[in-house]
Structure 1
Amino acid sequence: MKKLFCIVLSVFMFFLFSHTGEANEGLDELNHISDMAWQLSKQNRFEETAQLLTYFDQKFEELAFFQEEFTTDQLKTIYSTKEKAYEKVLDETIPTEERVKAVTQFRLVVDALSSEHQPLWGTMEEPIMTTFSNLKENIESGDYDSFEEEWGHFRFLYSMIYPSLTIDANEQHIKRVETHISAIESNLYENMTEHTKFEQLVAIEEALEDLFHQAEQDDADPSLLWVMISTGSIIFLALSYAGWRKYRGEVSKLPSKQNSKHY
C-alpha cells in the first residue's frame, strides 16, 4: 500500500513540476516577444512591432494552459494593452511618443506578470517623484502655467505605468493615488487655498512613495545589466516626452510673436 502511495505521489509531483516548468517557459517566451516589440518601437520600426504583437497573440493562444495561471482581470489587461498598442503603432496620425508609450504600457504589463523581482514599472520612480518636486515649486511660486504643463507630464508618466500597477501593486495604494488625482483635477481644486493645494500634492506624493516602496521591497533581479538597460530606456522615453511637450509649447507661441511684429 505504501509503495502504491509513493508511486501515485511521484507521478503527481512529476506532472505538477512539469506544468510549472512549461508555464515558466511560456511566460519567458511571451516576455521576450513583448520586449522585442518594445525595442523595435523605440527604433520607430512600427510595422515590425505590429507583426510581433500579432505573433504574441498567436503564442498566447497556443499556451492555453498558461492562461489558467492568471485572473480574468489580468487577462483583460493583457488583451486591452496589446490591442491598444497594436492600433497605435499602425496609426501614423498620432505622435511617435504616443505610439511608443502604448507599446511601453504593454511591455510593463507583461513584465509585471512575469517578474519575481523588481518590476520595470518601479524604474519610473525617479522621473515621477522629480515631477512632484517641480509641481510643489510651481504652487509655492504661483506659476500655474508651469503647473499645468508639469501636471500633464505627470499624467503621461502615470498613465504609462497604470495598467501594470493594476496587476502588480497593492490595490489600496492605487486607490489612494486615484482619489487624490481626482481631487486635483476637479473644479474644486481651483477654489482651494494655496496651503490646501500643496497638501493635496503631498498626499499624492506619499501615496506614490508607498507604491514604489513595494517594488523596492522585492529581491534584486540577478539580471542586473538587463534591468539597467531597460530602466535607462524607459526614463529616456519619459524625458523625450517632456522635451517634446516643451518644444511644442514654444512652437505654439511663435505665430503670435511673429504676428506682433507686423503691428
Structure 2
Amino acid sequence: MRGKLIILLVLNVLFSGFSVQADSKSSMTELDQLADEALQLTRFGRFEEAKNIMERFGELFSEKGVIERQFTMDELRIVTAAHHEALKALASVGLNTNERVKKVTAFRLATDAIISKYQPLWSEMERPIMNAFEDVKSAALEGDENLYNTELNEFLSTYSVIQPSIKISVPVEKVQRLDSRIAYIDRYRSTFSEQKWMQELEGLEADLKKLFSEINKDDTDPSIWWVMFMTGGIIVSTLSYVSWRKYRGQKLQKQKRKDLND
C-alpha cells in the first residue's frame, strides 16, 4: 500500500509539472501565432488589422513576460523594442510596404527566437544575408564607390531584419564582435583603400558564415536528457522498491507457512 502511495505521489508531481508546461506552451504558441498573423497581414497591405494584432500581442506578452516572468530581462527588452519599431512602421504613412514588412519581419523573427531555442526562423535568412553581402563585395572589387555604397546600404537594411533575433539566440560577445565589424565598415566606408576594403569585408564574411553555421548545428539541449534521465530514474527506483517489498513480503509469508507446517 505504501509503495502504491509513493508511485501516485511521483506521478502526481510529474503530471502537475506537465500541466504547467502545457499551459506555458499554449501561451507561447498563441504569441507565435499572433506575430505570424501580423506579418502575413502586413505583407498583404492590411496595416490596420496588423496593428490590432500587434496590440493584442503586446498585452499578452506583457502578461507572460512581466507578470509571470517567463522571459529574461534581455528578451523582454529586445522583443519590446522590435514590437515598438514594428508598430511605428505600421502607423507611418511615409514608409513603403517593403520597409514595413522588414520591420514586422524583424519583430516576427525576434518573437520566434525567444520561443524556438533551437534552429530559430532567423537562421533561414542565411541566403538573403549572404547574397546581399556578395553584392557588396562585388561592388568593392569593381571599385565603383557609388555602387558600393548602394549595395552596403541594402546589406545593412537586410541585416537589420535579423539583428534583434541574434541578440536573443547568440552569446553577447559574438553579437558585439559582429556589430562592431559592421559599424566600422559603415562608418569608414569612404576612407578605405581597396586593400583595406577587402580585408575588412573578408573578416565580416567569415563572421557571418560562422554565425549561421553555429546556429544551424543540430544540438540537443543537455538539460532535456538530464530531465528524462532523472524522471525515468525516479520511476524505475520507485517500482524497484515496490517490487522488492512485494518479493520480501511473499518470502516472509512462505517462511511463516513453512514454520507452521513444521
TM-score by length of 1: 0.75
State which drifts further: 166-175 or 4-13.
4-13
State which drifts further: 61-70 or 104-113.
61-70
Query: Which structure has the bigger radius of gyration?
Result: 2
State which drifts further: 37-46 or 50-59.
50-59
Residue in 2 aligned with 1:28? 29
Aligned residues of 1:135 and 1:147 also touching (Cα < 8 A): yes
Are 1:209 and 2:209 counterparts? yes
2:17 is paired with a residue whose SS is: helix
| Cα gap change, 1:69 to 1:59, in 2 (>3 Å) | closer
Equivalents in 1 of 2:87, 2:66: separation in Å? 24
How many residues align structurally? 219
Aligned residues of 2:113 and 2:169 also touching (Cα < 8 A): yes
Matches within 5 A, 1:46-195: 46-63=47-64, 67-187=68-188, 190-195=190-195
What amino acid sits opposite 2:20 in the alignment? H
| Cα gap change, 1:182 to 1:59, in 2 (>3 Å) | closer
Residue in 2 aligned with 1:15? 16
What amino acid sits opposite 1:86 in the alignment? L
Cα offsets for 1:172-201 (capped at 9, x unmatched)? 3322211211221234x5444311210100
Residue in 2 aligned with 1:41? 42
Equivalents in 2 of 1:102, 1:144: separation in Å? 28
Q: Displacement, 1:27?
A: 0.6
Equivalents in 2 of 1:25, 1:108: separation in Å? 19
| Cα gap change, 1:129 to 1:46, in 2 (>3 Å) | same
1:217 is paired with a residue whose SS is: coil
Cα offsets for 1:66-109 (capped at 9, x unmatched)? 85332111011222211221122012122222222111111101
| Cα gap change, 1:67 to 1:163, in 2 (>3 Å) | farther
Q: Displacement, 1:164?
A: 0.7
Aligned residues of 1:50 and 1:89 also touching (Cα < 8 A): yes
Equivalents in 2 of 1:153, 1:210: separation in Å? 21
Aligned residues of 1:180 and 1:204 also touching (Cα < 8 A): yes
TM-score by length of 2: 0.76
1:204 is paired with a residue whose SS is: helix
State which drifts further: 116-125 or 67-76.
116-125
Are 1:218 and 2:240 counterparts? no
What amino acid sits opposite 1:198 in the alignment? M
Equivalents in 2 of 1:13, 1:33: separation in Å? 30
Aligned residues with identical type, % of pairs: 31
Gaps of 5+ in 1: 220-263
Equivalents in 2 of 1:160, 1:43: separation in Å? 19
Aligned residues of 2:132 and 2:158 also touching (Cα < 8 A): no
Cα offsets for 1:224-252 (capped at 9, x unmatched)? xxxxxxxxxxxxxxxxxxxxxxxxxxxxx
| Cα gap change, 1:182 to 1:58, in 2 (>3 Å) | closer
2:70 is paired with a residue whose SS is: coil
Aligned CA RMSD, in angstroms, stands at: 2.4
State which drifts further: 8-17 or 35-44.
8-17
What amino acid sits opposite 1:28 in the alignment? T
